[in-house]
Amino acid sequence: MNALIPAAGLLGLLIGSFLNVVIHRVPRAQSVVNPPSACPGCGKEIRAQDNIPVISWLMLRGRCRACGESISRRYPLVETGTALLFAVLAARFGFTAELPAYLYLAAVGVALAMIDIDVKRLPDVLTLPSYVVGAVLLGAAATAQGDVDPLIRAVLGASAMFAVYFALCFAYPAGMGFGDVKLSGVLGLYTAWLGWDVWAAGLLFGFFLGGFFGIGIMLVKKGGRKMAVPFGPFMLLGALIAILFGHELVDGYLSLTVGA
């Protein structure tokens, strides 16, 4: 267990480096494998020694070695953030069969959140395959644990959360994009695997965070009600909070309200 957390963090750094490519290229419908990464300023291919997550950015002081073009702070932040997420999830799940599924969710979640912030869109090329990958990884976990009940609950949770978001989108299409609806099923799959209380917490936290911060952003930027605020990052953050603390938060709430 002690070695698992730093190992997961190191893996997160490497995955985070790749996610930077995904975040930049997927919205532009470009391949994430070819051509190799290059400086957007001078077009020079980035050397292997300049492509080490976080360390290279620090050593180069955030500038291209060839032309001195500034390299966004987002790159090391995405790498560090992904590493922290992987380490936290490793601490949460330990060396279990379900850990790979949640590491995948963390990786695709980082990419989707950043892309939604950039272009106000959740690409199908990332969201839709996540249904299949999540079902396969959680199915493997169910097989390894010899218990299919969590998998059945996960499938029902995916369907239920998709239905909730679909109904909201149908009732008020101006307030929610269908990309959010498609993402909701993925989050329902992962939260319901852990229990209906976690599923409910993920749903409620997503709406609470989206509403609270969305109103704050509109007030600060004075964009009014018509201002587009990406909802995907709040859905993902709400699901993360539920996955990490859902049981405890729901139990605490019930103990305070009904003495359960």
Residue 224 is predicted with a pLDDT of 52
Give the pLDDT mean for 63-81: 89
Q: Where are the domains of the chain?
A: 1-95, 97-260
Residue 127 is predicted with a pLDDT of 98
Instruction: List 70's β-bridge partners, or say none.
Output: 63
What is the rounded distance in angstroms from the CA atom of residue 88 to the CA atom of residue 141?
19
Residue 35 is predicted with a pLDDT of 83
Residue 218 is predicted with a pLDDT of 65
Residue 227 is predicted with a pLDDT of 59
Least confident of 22-31, 152-161, 207-216: 207-216
Q: What is the chain's mean pLDDT, rounded?
A: 90
Residue 39 is predicted with a pLDDT of 76
158-182 b/e with 16+ CB inside 10 Å = b?
bebbbeebbebbeeeeeebbebbbb
What is the rounded distance in angstroms from the CA atom of residue 233 to the CA atom of residue 130?
16
What lies within 8 Å, CB to CB, of 112 at 6+ separation is: 122, 123, 126, 127, 183, 232, 236
Supply the pTM of this predicted model: 0.91
Express each pLDDT in 85-140 by its tens digit: 999 999 999 999 999 999 999 999 999 999 999 999 999 999 999 999 999 999 99
Q: Which amino acid is at 47?
A: R
Express each pLDDT in 148-207 by its tens digit: 999 999 999 999 999 999 999 988 887 788 999 999 999 999 999 999 999 999 999 999
Express each pLDDT in 220-229 by its tens digit: 665 555 556 7
* Helical ranges in 172-260 per DSSP H: 178-194, 196-221, 232-257
Tokens of residue 81, six digits: 């953030």
